[in-house]
Amino acid sequence: MRALLIEFDVKTGARAGGISPKDKDLPCYGWQNLEVEPALEIRLVMDYRRSLEMYKGQKGITFLEGKDAINAAIQAHVPSQYIIQSETLMLEHMKEKGLKLKDFASKSMKEIAIMAFAEGLAGVIERKPKLLE
């Protein structure tokens, strides 16, 4: 099993090595980190016969060999997502814990979800990136 850890520009979509995001032999499965610059993504190499020589030595491309290396890269580079599944449940739990809405004012929904999860509020979940089995 092989994969490529690729740097890319979120604004233009240009990927290191000129890799096409539409290449069916290099699927991503959502393993992206858009919070760093350049952004990162991990793409599996589906065809074991495919030569990757053209990418060797290319800036912004790291070769990952084997499931353990791929999973380690996923854990190191792909952040968890925090999702508010029930605003009502979260707000009720905030009240029970004595938290104030003003503590969450002027925050983005993403920041609120992270803060709420860190507080252990009900109705908020963490979605970790899926690893290879």
42-56 confidence digits (pLDDT tens): 999 999 888 999 999
pTM of the predicted model, to two decimals? 0.81
Q: Quick: pLDDT tens for 102-111.
A: 888 889 989 9
Give the residues of the chain that fall short of pLDDT 50.
none
pLDDT score at 48: 87
CB–CB of 82/113 below 8 Å?
yes
- Tell me which residue of 50, 56, 46, 1 sits closest to 26, measured CA to CA: 46
